[in-house]
Structure 1
């Protein structure tokens, strides 16, 4: 091939490339004008075989996307175990204690107990009786708002060991219904009146999703021994994992209210962390 022939071939190939580029540019321009001018735009070629491409999300969807899948998936709680004896103390690290109050809520004494707990930013457990709770739902709502735990203490505070299985279930279920209505959820803990447990109470409590909780330190405040005596019993019994039993109803509980005002700040100053227990599902 001569030099002149080679030069002619190169020029011919360059003209072909320029003509192809001009055609592509013209097609893109035609599609752009058609999109704004009302004409049908030029359809792009079909994609190669494979999974379909994701459609782009709207800006609002981009902002919401991180929220929709944030955190671990929720799992349903397991079945509550049937125990043969109640829990007496709480497991945990450090100097942790639990304060519990039975038989309420009573509008004469429960608000004062809640006020003291709120003053020191402490949460506690209230084992309520249905016949008291049904007329004082506002106090259960306050317990919920302030982070306290509400447990089931039966409807009328009977001796469960003398009741039939059907009566025990009725006492528990009616109280759980009232708690759910006012507190916002069904109770996860229950306590037998007088600490009198039997097999039926454990079984029915578990069927209703509740763990049985007793106590470690009994203040015996129901005997009205004096505020100083109640205070001393709590201080002497203080230890990691201890569950303290007091009352906010069922009689004159003014001594219990005064004692709480004294021993609570002393417990906190001694390094105790007063809080509520967590359920550990099986």
Structure 2
């Protein structure tokens, strides 16, 4: 017969083995639950990543579709070589005006772009190279472009083209196109000479660069009597500027309105847009103007 002490010892061993097995089962259950939790977390993260990627893909596709839609717009207007007015092609709306802003982007261009955006109106921003030769100016230009506004060339230093050599004229024009392309990825489609003064050579360079050359039909914000927001607003909306001898209205269908990056013009801009619309004029989208391929 086994001694009592031996029996007790064997019972202790058996109990220890059973406890170890039970503990092992618990650990296995715990490990299994943790593995399942980790799998569920991983699947959730993967689903989130897939959803984010899908959303980003949809946004990218929407942006691409919008860009393609803009590129596919058929021209509805062209710029008259003789008058710089906006002429309709076929049966396009005739009662329109074109807004243009020179000497950008100086102190007010970005705010003017925001006003135009709020009013759902478009304009061409004609830039001077000396305003975009640093990072701050380049960033302003990029923002204006990304808001949907076409960029035009207004020469590098706002020089009077007939007063400089042909070599300098070429540099004044090409330098701006190169810099604009460096910033926004495309070259300007429109050109306006400072003071509206071109030469045979500047016209040749503009043509070679594939730009539409234009001047304007009227604008008053560079005359001293109209360097006041209220007076300027009234003059632009009516087309009359009696303080400089313009007694008869210059406002008519196809008017090409000249404005500048100036404080008083910035202040008047919103009311000017409203004033044209109240008279039944649409603000023409420059993307609908025929350009040179």
TM over 0.5: yes
User: Contact (CA 8 Å) 2:212, 2:291: kept in 1 or not?
Assistant: no
Q: 2:283 maps to which residue?
A: 274
Task: Give the total of aligned pairs.
Answer: 198
Distance 2:173 2:285 in 1: 22
Aligned pairs for 1:47-58 within 5 A: none
Pick aligned residue for 2:84 from 88, 93, 98: 88
Is the aligned partner of 1:245 residue 2:254?
A: no
TM-score, with length taken from structure 1:
0.65
Shift of 1:275: 2.5
Shift of 1:261: 2.1
Shift of 1:258: 1.2
What SS is found at the alignment partner of 1:118? helix
Is the aligned partner of 1:225 residue 2:221?
A: no
Q: Which moved more, 1:213-222 or 1:118-127?
A: 213-222
Distance 1:239 1:140 in 2: 31
Aligned pairs for 1:84-233 within 5 A: 88-92=84-88, 93-106=93-106, 108-135=107-134, 136-221=137-222, 223=224, 224-233=226-235
Distance 2:216 2:235 in 1: 13
Q: 1:67 maps to which residue?
A: none
Distance 2:282 2:120 in 1: 11
Shift of 1:172: 0.7
Shift of 1:137: 1.2
- Runs of 4+ with deviation above 3 angstroms: 83-87
Distance 2:131 2:227 in 1: 24
Shift of 1:86: 6.1
Shift of 1:143: 2.1
Cα deviation digits, residues 91-128 of structure 1 (max 9, x gap): 1233111111111101x211220121011111101110
Cα deviation digits, residues 49-97 of structure 1 (max 9, x gap): xxxxxxxxxxxxxxxxxxxxxx9xx9xxxxxxxx996651111233111
User: Contact (CA 8 Å) 1:222, 1:247: kept in 2 or not?
Assistant: no
- Structure 2 stretches of 5 or more lacking a match? 1-67, 72-78, 240-250
User: Contact (CA 8 Å) 1:221, 1:255: kept in 2 or not?
Assistant: no
Q: 1:18 maps to which residue?
A: none
TM-score, with length taken from structure 2:
0.62
RMSD, aligned α-carbons: 2.4
Cα deviation digits, residues 8-59 of structure 1 (max 9, x gap): xxxxxxxxxxxxxxxxxxxxxxxxxxxxxxxxxxxxxxxxxxxxxxxxxxxx
User: Contact (CA 8 Å) 1:144, 1:184: kept in 2 or not?
Assistant: no
- Structure 1 stretches of 5 or more lacking a match? 1-70, 75-82
What SS is found at the alignment partner of 1:186? coil
Distance 2:100 2:80 in 1: 22
Q: Cα–Cα, structure 1 residues 85 and 271, in superposed 2: closer, same or farther, change >3 Å? A: closer
Shift of 1:222: 5.3
What SS is found at the alignment partner of 2:104? coil
Q: 1:255 maps to which residue?
A: 264
